[in-house]
Chains A and B, each alone.
Chain A
Amino acid sequence: MTDRALVPVVGKVLEAMLVLLYVASLVTALHGGVVPDYRDAAAAEVSDRTLASTAARIEASVPPPSDDAAASRTVDLPAAIDDAVYRLRVENRTLVLDHPDPALSGRLRLALSPRVTAVEGSWRSDEPATVRVRGDDGRLRVILA
């Protein structure tokens, strides 16, 4: 009559195994497929938005023609995209986002007035970013610093 005492133990062990198996398979399914996909999608979206909003910020910092004054504006950048620090630089009037992951890098042409003769400089996402405009005889230089 030792079998009768064994039945609940075997039942409980079976239940515990089943739950463990289920949790393990759920964690694998979520972290193996769904979560990384979402992280990539969200990171790509943040990268696109950072590029577009920063470009708009740079374009908006150029003063109207009557105004030759120098301008300085701070720019808010997300400190990291997908847990990695990135750089923003300007190359041939194109804003370039350099991310360690090439899929999250991007480039966007800046629409600037012909009065702007030069755009130069770069930002690191973990440092404060400022855009400076220097006027010199009607010609403007835009500097990312």
Chain B
Amino acid sequence: MRGQTNLFALVVALVLLTGATVVGVSLADGALAGADREPVERHAAAATADRLIAADSPLTVRANTLNASRVAALNASRLHELAPVARTGDVRVALDGRPVVERGAPGGGWTVRRSVVVRSRAEPRSIRVNLSTQSTVSVPQGVDRATLTLASGPNTTLRSVRANDRVVLHDDGGLDTTATVHLDRYEPTTLRVDAGANATGRLVVTYRPQRVDDRILTVTVDA
């Protein structure tokens, strides 16, 4: 009987050892599954996002600054041209959660987020000024060009227009014209018409103010 007790203890020990092995293998299984990070998907998403916001991308004005109208013109085939990595699988490009381009319907996959600035031009704004009461017009910062229409009244010759004391239009024979002038967009501009004390006439300044919005660009790739 003593021999049989020994054998019984041995069998119990072996069963315990088997249990430990099974637990160890299943833990290793979980660790391996947890280490799966889909590197190819992640690369595709990151590379697509980086190509879209690069300084030499057709969508950007400079690095990280997107032009709103060019973003609106983006479609799936243009996206593929720009970032051929995202050829395989479903892709979605979104700005602040609103989809810009979608190919397929990515269910999960890998998402990359990039903080970007979107520049867009608002509706044109016109300022009309009667030169007998006022000879200056203020244009806000961020406008790089404006269209001026000058109409001089009787007995008045308008010779020049200055933007922040820089002469942008000049004609000794008198300005009676429509012209586009370039302005410094990094500071507000004051347009001044050089007119005498009793000058009459009209000045119309038309410009498109710029809007700049911070957005989050998300690129999701589900291969």
Contact = CB atoms under 8 A, between A and B. Distances in A.
A114 B85 contact: no
A11 B3 contact: yes
Nearest to A48: B39
Interface in B1-58: 3, 6-7, 10-11, 14, 17-18, 21, 25, 28, 32, 35-37, 39-40, 42-43, 46-48, 50-51, 54-56
Interface stretch (A73-81, A82-90, A105-113, A124-132): A105-113
Contacts of B61: none
Nearest to B49: A111
Nearest to B51: A111
Interface in B41-95: 42-43, 46-48, 50-51, 54-56, 63, 83-85, 87
B85 A48 contact: no
A109 B40 contact: no
- Best-buried of B10, B36, B40, B47 by chain A (most CB within 10 Å): B47
A15 B56 contact: no
A45 B83 CA distance: 24
B46 A38 contact: no
A119 to B, nearest CB: 13
Contacts of A109: 84-85, 87
Contact of A52 (B21, B39, B63, B83): B39
B47 A113 contact: no
Main secondary structure, interface of B, reads helix
Contacts of B36: 45
A96 interface: no
Interface residues of A, number: 36
Main secondary structure, interface of A, reads helix
A77 to B, nearest CB: 14
A138 to B, nearest CB: 10
A49 B10 contact: no
Given A11-B3, A26-B21, A18 B56 contact: no
A38 B87 contact: no
Given A11-B3, A11-B6, A55-B47, A113 B56 contact: yes
Contacts of A31: none
B43 A108 contact: yes
Contacts of A49: 37, 39
A103 to B, nearest CB: 15
Nearest to B82: A111
A52 B51 CA distance: 16
